[in-house]
């Protein structure tokens, strides 16, 4: 044995493994918000946000048009036609279908007000004037939801699901909802109509 060699004490440390994120089913019993919960989220934006008009309009537009986070972040004023009260929705999914959506009166008034206060091509921007990133938008919605009595953790995609379920509960057919949400395959839309109570509306009637 080489006399110049010596044993060195190991410096390894046993580290605890961080727990993995719990499944969604443990965080909440459903993956969509109800219309009343959308109203609570908008109310929280008006009460607690530094930019209440922007955030209330942001929530309303995502919900009404079933936008994904990246679609809301990329939304430009050129997609909104104030003369015809319509919005051209570009879907980020490569197989997604674009569509032209009507804009209701309350939404149109909110967008007009926001347009007067916004500089640049994007509808929803940060205080620096740059568009939101999807991750920042998700954190923002999560923080606003914590100011409400919703009672479970909320993420921004739940607003898109809320749109689909609201349309199904209003009795709209699956094909129309598919086109509205820009789904290429109808199986992505069926989840909304499967849970709709509309198909049972005549049960227990004499």
Give the active site residue among 48, 157, 188, 191.
157
- Strand-pairing partners, residue 102, are 86
Q: Quick check: is 68 catalytic?
A: yes
Q: Quick check: is 184 catalytic?
A: no
Helices (H), 21-148: 24-27, 35-48, 52-65, 69-74, 105-117, 134-145
Give the active site residue among 32, 54, 65, 68.
68
Give the active site residue among 40, 155, 160, 161.
160
Q: Quick check: is 54 catalytic?
A: no
Q: Quick check: is 157 catalytic?
A: yes
What sign for the dihedral angle of Cα 83, 89, 90, 94?
A: negative
Give the active site residue among 65, 91, 155, 183.
183
Q: Side-chain half-sphere of 165: how many Cα atoms within 13 Å?
A: 17
Q: Quick check: is 188 catalytic?
A: no
Helix (H, G, I), strand (E, B) or coil at 110: helix
Tokens of 40: 């609570």
Give the active site residue among 15, 21, 50, 94.
94
- Catalytic residue annotation: 68, 94, 157, 160, 183, 192
């Amino acid at each position: 044995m080489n006399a110049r060699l010596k044993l060195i004490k190991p410096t390894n440390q046993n580290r605890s493994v961080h727990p993995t994120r719990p499944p969604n089913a443990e965080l909440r019993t459903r993956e969509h918000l109800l219309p009343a919960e959308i109203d609570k989220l908008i109310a929280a934006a008006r009460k607690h946000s530094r930019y209440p008009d922007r955030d209330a309009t942001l929530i309303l537009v995502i919900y009404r048009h079933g936008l994904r986070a990246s679609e809301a972040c990329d939304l430009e004023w050129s997609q909104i036609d104030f003369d015809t009260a319509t919005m051209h929705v570009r879907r980020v999914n490569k197989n997604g279908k674009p569509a032209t959506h009507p804009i209701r009166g309350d939404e149109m008034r909110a967008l007009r007000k926001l347009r007067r206060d916004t500089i640049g091509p994007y509808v929803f921007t940060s205080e620096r004037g740059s568009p939101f990133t999807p991750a920042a938008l998700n954190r923002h919605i999560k923080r606003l939801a914590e100011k409400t009595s919703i009672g479970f953790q909320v993420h921004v995609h739940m607003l898109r699901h809320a749109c689909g379920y609201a349309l199904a509960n209003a009795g709209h057919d699956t094909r129309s909802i598919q086109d509205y949400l820009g789904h290429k395959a109808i199986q992505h839309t069926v989840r909304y109509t499967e849970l709709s109570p509309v198909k049972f509306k005549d049960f227990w009637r004499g």
